[in-house]
Amino acid sequence: MKNKLITLALILCSLALYGHAAAQPISRTKENAATQQLIQSQTGKQLTALDWYNRGVAMNNNSDQELACYQRAVQIDSTFAPAYYNMGIIYMKRGMNSEAIDNFNQFLKLSSDETKKQEVRKAISELGGEAASGNNTPDQTVSADLKQQAIKLYNAGIALNDDSDKEMQYYLQAIVLDPGFAAAHMNLGLLYYHRKNYKDALSELTKYIEYTNDPPAKRKEVLNLIEWLKTAVKTPAQPAVQQQPSGISTAPAPAPSPAQNNNAGGTPQMQEVPLQ
């Protein structure tokens, strides 16, 4: 019994560190400030599920007020997986195991984040519950309204086009709304790449490959970069002197014309393209 309690405590700490913190759209101070600006910009407007979610994340104190924000988010959009995740964390910390299991299972049904889902399944098991199958794909669980909001945030990042924390924040916000948003994962990966954060770049570009419907030529250039990043991550002292893969643009650019996108003698340039 003692060992089981210790295990549960470790899982709770793991979820608290990885989950509740990771559920925030932004993890850095500057980017969190950008999140607050987005929330404040909604003053006088009808708040969306994302707005309520971000209000709860901004509190980050496991209070009734934070919980109410997530409840409001899922009232507006019942497919908003991150809100169920955060509610599960709060209920688990309060010892309300049945409520925690219910919300974690909703998260499993709706989310495409396999890493978090593994942690949640472990928590549900330790709480004495049975995990839902959670076989839905992002396209099946994200509403059309959320997809449109994600596209607007993505295009706002494209409009900045300055490799800033704020541009990164827009892509992170878009992914919170639509975890399977391939283009946002790619642009986020490119931003990490520009900043020489090769580990996170590798993670995001791998997710792009998982979710994208882009043609083989576009996937091939990203796969080339992924292979280079794998080497860079394994040998962190080497990237400064390694030859970087050809065909990778180190700065955002407008959408290429068909002629530009089929340049002879090399792979197509990777571009950040606005969505409609």
CATH of the domain at 123: 1.25.40.10
Say if residue 75 is in the same domain as residue 200. no
Give the range among 20-24, 54-58, 199-203, 244-248 with minimum mean pLDDT: 20-24
- What integer pLDDT is reported at residue 1 of this predicted model? 54
Q: For residue range 109-155, what is the model confidence (pLDDT) as tens digits?
A: 888 778 888 899 999 999 998 887 755 445 456 778 888 889 999 99
Evaluate whether residue 93 is within a structural domain: yes
Evaluate whether residue 89 is within a structural domain: yes
User: How many Å apart are CA 50 and CA 68, to the nearest integer?
Assistant: 13
Evaluate whether residue 150 is within a structural domain: no
Evaluate whether residue 151 is within a structural domain: no
**Do the beta carbons of residue 185 and residue 175 sit within 8 Å?**
yes
Out of 108, 124, 140, pick the residue that ends a domain.
140
Say if residue 135 is in the same domain as residue 188. no
Nearest by Cα to 172 from 190, 193, 150, 194: 150
Mean pLDDT estimate for the chain: 74
Angle between helices 114-126 and 2-14 (to 10 degrees): 150
Evaluate whether residue 233 is within a structural domain: yes
Residue 69 has pLDDT above 90, yes or no: yes
Give the range among 86-95, 147-156, 247-256 with minimum mean pLDDT: 247-256
- What integer pLDDT is reported at residue 114 of this predicted model? 80
Out of 86, 119, 140, pick the residue that ends a domain.
140
Say if residue 23 is in the same domain as residue 102. yes
- What integer pLDDT is reported at residue 233 of this predicted model? 87
DSSP state of 256: P
Say if residue 15 is in the same domain as residue 114. yes
Between residues 79 and 23, which one has the greater pLDDT?
Answer: 79
Most confident of 27-41, 50-64, 134-148, 241-255: 50-64
Between residues 269 and 106, which one has the greater pLDDT?
Answer: 106
Evaluate whether residue 156 is within a structural domain: no
- What integer pLDDT is reported at residue 28 of this predicted model? 33
- What integer pLDDT is reported at residue 197 of this predicted model? 92
**Do the beta carbons of residue 179 and residue 138 sit within 8 Å?**
yes
User: How many Å apart are CA 93 and CA 137, to the nearest integer?
Assistant: 29
Evaluate whether residue 118 is within a structural domain: yes
Q: For residue range 171-183, what is the model confidence (pLDDT) as tens digits?
A: 999 988 888 899 9
The boundaries of the domain holding residue 46 are 2-140
Say if residue 229 is in the same domain as residue 101. no
Say if residue 123 is in the same domain as residue 192. no
Say if residue 185 is in the same domain as residue 251. yes
Say if residue 210 is in the same domain as residue 109. no
Total domains in the chain come to: 2
Out of 140, 173, 205, pick the residue that ends a domain.
140
Evaluate whether residue 101 is within a structural domain: yes
Say if residue 56 is in the same domain as residue 106. yes
pLDDT band at residue 66 under the 50/70/90 scheme: very high
